[in-house]
Amino acid sequence: MKLKNLYLTTFLISLLVISCAPDDDLEFSEQGREVPAFDSERAVDYIRQQVELGPRVPGTETHRDAMDLYRDHFRSTAGNQAVFVQEFEQVVYGDTLQLYNLIAAFGLEHSDRIVLAAHWDTRPRGEEDPENPELPIPGADDGASGVGVLMEFANIFAEHDLPIGVDIILFDGEDYGEEGDLDNYFLGSRYWSQNPPVAGYAPRFGILLDMVGGEGALFPKEGHSMRFAPSLVNEIWSIADEFGYSDLFIDERGGMIADDHIIVQQYTGIPMINIIHHRVREDGSVAFPPYWHTQDDNMDIIDSTVIQRVGDVVLELIYNRIEP
Ligand SMILES: [Zn+2]
């Protein structure tokens, strides 16, 4: 290759990189603030409480019982006035479902805000389970783990003043769709994004926690998250590296995973990232953990060390890295 061509090529590549760079002006640095401790045992207990209720499948009594559990917990931590349950009805596969998103606002004195989210419903079927493909899954990791971490955050936010406002959102109906039928996944995040409870709501960013408590967890940098908010992803992964957790938050490009964060970003423009247990196979396809969408997604695979590390990293980000 001639040198002139090399320069031209380099120039064209740099143009391409610049034009592909997302609109991400999020900035982070150490703020020297004290960070409260995360109690993974309490988070695991919240996961157990959900699993013991049974599968949280939309349209079932257990689903309503679980919403009562969340409502009570977030009212007792955020306060009655700071919790809103967004109820809506949707017909899916011929069934009329009552669905519920829960929103709990912490640090109401701050107009500057961020979002933390997880889906709370569990899948009505476990098609990856060769023996029981029709049975609803327990959803200890796929559903309960993200919510358990957020419930423990609520305890902390209630007791330790936040440097920024935090809205916790539990989305319903994330995992309802039949395989490949993406229109019937993400029911709650789609409804919330299209019917925002607060007009003009514009938090700085969002973090979605999905399957954050399973044994053998690996969190590569999920592909859409790297499109929406690369500096947020890189900050979280660099905190994890500082804490010695780089074997969990691995510095590798992950797969492009369809999840609530895409819906939120598409409809609202809020840059939302996803911390999700998965890996990329050699052929480039995405693999979820072996217990995923099976009866094995139960308390036996919950690993309190994984949960502790997720809690440590996200709390460090919220309390000590966000620039005023
Ligand atoms: Zn799932």
Question: How far does residue 293's CA lie from ligand 1's centre (Å)?
Answer: 6
- Cα distances (angstroms) measured from residue 70 to each of 15, 126, 240, 264: 48, 24, 29, 22
- Name residues whose C-beta falls within 8 Å of residue 6's C-beta, 6 or more positions apart in sequence: none
Which residues partner with 171 through β-bridges?
A: 119
**Strands in the chain per DSSP E:** 83-92, 95-106, 113-119, 165-171, 206-210, 272-276, 279-280, 286-287
- Mean pLDDT calculated for residue range 275-291: 97
- Residue 201 CA to ligand 1 center (angstroms) comes to 28
CA of 102 to the centre of ligand 1 (A): 19
- Using CA atoms, how far residue 186 sits from 47, 87, 244, in Å, is 21, 15, 34
Question: Please, what CATH class does the domain formed by 30-320 belong to?
Answer: alpha beta
Q: Is 281 exposed, middle or buried (0-12, 13-18, 19+ CB in 10 A)?
A: exposed
Q: Encode pLDDT of 128-156 as tens digits.
A: 999 999 999 999 999 999 999 999 999 99
Distance 129 CA to ligand 1 centre (A): 13
More confident residue, 324 or 39: 39
Half-sphere exposure of 124 (CA within 13 A, CB side): 18
Its sign, for the CA torsion 238, 160, 211, 90, is negative
Cα of 185 to ligand 1 centre, how many Å?
Answer: 10
The answer to whether residue 218 scores a pLDDT higher than 80 is yes
Q: pLDDT value at position 17?
A: 45
Q: For residue 66, is pLDDT > 80?
A: yes
**10 alpha carbon to ligand 1 midpoint, in Å?**
42
Q: What is the CA(110)–ligand 1 centre distance, in A?
A: 34
Look at residue 24 in the predicted model and tell me its pLDDT: 74
User: How many whole angstroms from 142 Cα to the centroid of ligand 1?
Assistant: 5
In the reported structure, the alpha carbon of residue 137 is separated from the centroid of ligand 1 by a whole-number distance in angstroms of 9
C-alpha–C-alpha distance, residues 185 and 174, integer Å: 5
292 CA distance to ligand 1 centroid (A)? 7
Q: Are 151 and 43 in contact (CB under 8 A)?
A: yes
Kindly give the distance from the C-alpha atom of residue 33 to the centroid of ligand 1, in angstroms, as a whole number: 36
Q: How far is the CA of 35 from the centre of ligand 1 (A)?
A: 32
pLDDT tens digit string along 235-265?
999 999 999 999 999 999 999 999 999 999 9
Where would I find the H helices in 27-139? 40-53, 61-78
Give one word for 210, left, alpha or beta, with left for phi > 0 and alpha for psi -120 to 50. beta
Listed as own residue / partner, the contacts of 57-63 with beta carbons closer than 8 Å and 24 or more positions apart are 57/121, 57/122, 57/123, 57/124, 57/136, 58/92, 58/97, 58/98, 58/99, 58/121, 58/124, 58/172, 58/173, 58/176, 58/187, 59/95, 59/97, 59/98, 63/121
Cα 285 to ligand 1 centroid, rounded to whole Å: 17
Distance CA 206, CA 65 (A): 27
CB-based contact 212:259 (threshold 8 Å): no
Helices and strands (H and E) in the chain: how many: 9, 8
How close is the Cα of 36 to the center of ligand 1, in Å?
31
For tokens 């409480």, name the residue: 49
Give residue 121 CA to ligand 1 midpoint distance, Å: 9
Residue 292 has pLDDT above 80, yes or no: yes
Say yes or no to pLDDT of 5 above 60.
Answer: no
Instruction: Go through the chain and tell me how many residues it has.
Output: 324
| pLDDT tens digit sequence for 170-201 | 999 999 999 999 999 999 999 999 999 998 99
Residue 42 CA, ligand 1 centroid: distance in Å: 23
Structure tokens, 76? 């007792």
pLDDT in tens, 15-65: 444 444 455 789 999 999 999 999 999 999 999 999 999 999 999 999 999
| pLDDT for res 158 | 98
pLDDT at 25: 81
CA of residue 264 to ligand 1 center, whole Å: 18
How far does the centroid of ligand 1 lie from the alpha carbon of residue 174, in Å? 8
The pTM (predicted TM-score) of the whole model is 0.93
pLDDT of residue 95: 96
